[in-house]
Amino acid sequence: MPTPPLLTASELVAAFSSGELSPVEATRTALATIAERDVEHGAFTLVDPESALEQARASEERWREGNPIGWLDGVPASLKDMFLTEGWPTLRGSLCLDRDQPWREDSPVTARMREHGLVLLGKTTTPELAWKAVTDSPLDGITRNPWNPALTPGGSSGGSAVAVATGMGDLSVGTDGGGSVRIPASFCGIVGFKPTGGRIPLYPASPFGPLSHAGPMARSVDDVALLLDVLAITDPRDPAALPPVPGTFREAVRRDVRGLRAAHSPTLGYVDVDPEIARLVASVVALLDGAGLTVEETDPGFGDPAEAFGVLWSTGAAKWLDSFPDGAAERVDPGLRAVWEQGHTYSAGDYLDASAAGASLGIHMGEFHTRHDVLITPTLPIPPFEAGHDVPPDSGYENWPQWTPFSYPFNLTRQPAITVPAGFTSAGLPVGLQIVGPRHSDDLVLAVAKLVEEINPWPTDRPATPAS
């Protein structure tokens, strides 16, 4: 039997306002879905029903009195277990951190969600230290794709993507250091946005440095824009955070983008793409061209920056892991241990050269965007593959960046990039389309994504619960 369509966060807020639905009812539904589905999918590392219902009851009272405290008051949500959360452990997928220490501080992301009345259901799974593009860890085991549990949901924000896709909460926040919001959003058939670096304040500072971003994840572009309005509020603990922008993202998402210039790069000039994925993305690009966006097929003209990314990624991991307790090398994910060791082979000069390569790529893309307002690519070149593997079995790939070539270049440049559903393969697996804009053009990227949603609406049904 088909499962019922899910309400978006925007629809939930409208129902709260009219009295047709209460935050308590919405929270109970989300908790029931977690109880039903998370045994199979492994999206959560922590669920706190008592706290969630307490938050929901407080929200219900605010709506009854006509005094909601934010744009998303009462909406059930989660956040990746990379964000500090007062009262809940932040173990980051690792066995090496002390669960029983005091947890007394909220990250900026957590604090903004609380201040705007979102109901925090719990924390979602991540690979250890969010180091790779699938979601399994020594702490939480394997997280599985909602469309086919034998397959990976991607990562590293895989738990968040699965939670949103299945209705285990309506919103989530992930981190993205090389694609970790966009990759699982694409594999799970939802929207995932990595805004301009610094748009969402981060604390504590990530050892992965300027590669690191936080990003909202939802089932609609409107919901992503609403959540970004909450998350982008400044926080004094992040000295690199960007100042507020005029207006709101929830308004900017409806900007008219017809007549703007888009570049469609099917391969970036060097990526091998599954033919079915290429066809699905090209079909949506054709619809965009017909809807008034002026599309030219062209590549941005840079080579694969994998080497520079690898230096920055592995040195960041090494710096973080050096702070772990003695004996950690025997307890961490073996793949992460290899990255730890690799990071120690690089010099300060290597790090500076890699940083300069990223800056050069950013300058190149800045010039590219003087001719093309946005760049459109596939989000990933392959469909989801067997869960429990860092790379597709028998693919010949040695590491995860080799199968995620469309995402990490834009962490090096700190540009805004969003993935939206483009369709489904013949095997019924989601395919994502990525939209990249110049730095600080978060509003533009959201508006183009909204146009995609309008001309190529994606299903509102959640992935069906497999028959037992």
Domain ranges of the chain: 9-455
Strands 76-80 and 119-124: parallel
CB burial class (10 A; 0-12, 13-18, 19+) of residue 26? buried
Q: What beta strand segments (E) does 52-137 contain?
A: 76-80, 119-124, 136-137
Amino acid residing at 425: T
Q: Determine contact, residues 94/156, Cβ cutoff 8 Å.
A: no
So what's the pLDDT on residue 468?
A: 37
The active-site residue, picked from 10, 78, 80, 94, is 80
So what's the pLDDT on residue 459?
A: 80
Task: Report residue 354 as tokens.
Answer: 């890699």
Q: How far apart are CA 137 and CA 139, in angstroms?
A: 5
HSE toward the beta carbon, residue 327, CA cutoff 13 A: 3
Q: Torsion angle of alpha carbons 94, 192, 28, 152, nearest 10°?
A: -50
pLDDT one-digit tens code per residue, 113-125: 999 999 999 999 9
Positions in the chain short of pLDDT 50: 1-2, 467-468
Concatenated DSSP letters of 242-295:
PPPPSS-HHHHTT---TT-EEEE-SSTTT----HHHHHHHHHHHHHHHHTT-EE
The active-site residue, picked from 22, 78, 107, 156, is 156
pLDDT one-digit tens code per residue, 153-173: 999 999 999 999 999 999 999
So what's the pLDDT on residue 322?
A: 95
Tokens 């399994």, residue located: 136
Secondary structure element (H or E) that encloses residue 218, with its range: strand 213-218
Q: How far apart are CA 185 and CA 101, in angstroms?
A: 32
CATH superfamily of 9-455: Amidase signature (AS) domain (3.90.1300.10)
Q: How far apart are CA 395 and CA 116, in angstroms?
A: 45
Q: What is the DSSP letter of 384?
A: -
Q: In 3D, which of 328, 256, 238, 251 has the Cα closest to residue 293?
A: 256
Strands 191-194 and 213-218: antiparallel
431 beta partners: 423
Global confidence as pTM: 0.97
180 is catalytic: yes
Task: Report residue 12 as tokens.
Answer: 């939930």
441 is catalytic: no
Q: How far apart are CA 365 and CA 331, in angstroms?
A: 41
Three-state secondary structure of 142-155: ECCCCCCCCECCCC
So what's the pLDDT on residue 295?
A: 98
pLDDT one-digit tens code per residue, 448-460: 999 999 999 988 7
Tokens 């010099």, residue located: 347
Q: Determine contact, residues 384/145, Cβ cutoff 8 Å.
A: yes
